[in-house]
Amino acid sequence: MSKTIRAALVYFAIVLGTGFVLGVFRVPVLVPRIGERWAELVEMPIMAAVIFFRSPGEA
């Protein structure tokens, strides 16, 4: 497997896994308390940070 494909799969797994974990927390805990839209807005900076800091560097 090429290094590019492997890096892409690892990046995909990290971002998808983070989104899944945050979604498991967001839906039962935050949505009933603050509403769906505000819960998404709380989750957004965390996902943006994960996407930014886990993105592959320049080749």
> Using the 8-state DSSP alphabet, how is residue 26 labeled?
I
- Tell me the pTM: 0.81
Encoded amino acid at 29, one letter: V
Predicted confidence (pLDDT) per residue in 40-58, tens digit: 999 999 999 999 998 876 5
pLDDT of residue 57: 67
Q: How far is CA 32 from the centre of its chain?
A: 21
In this structure, are residues 7 and 56 in contact, taking their beta carbons and an 8 Å threshold? yes
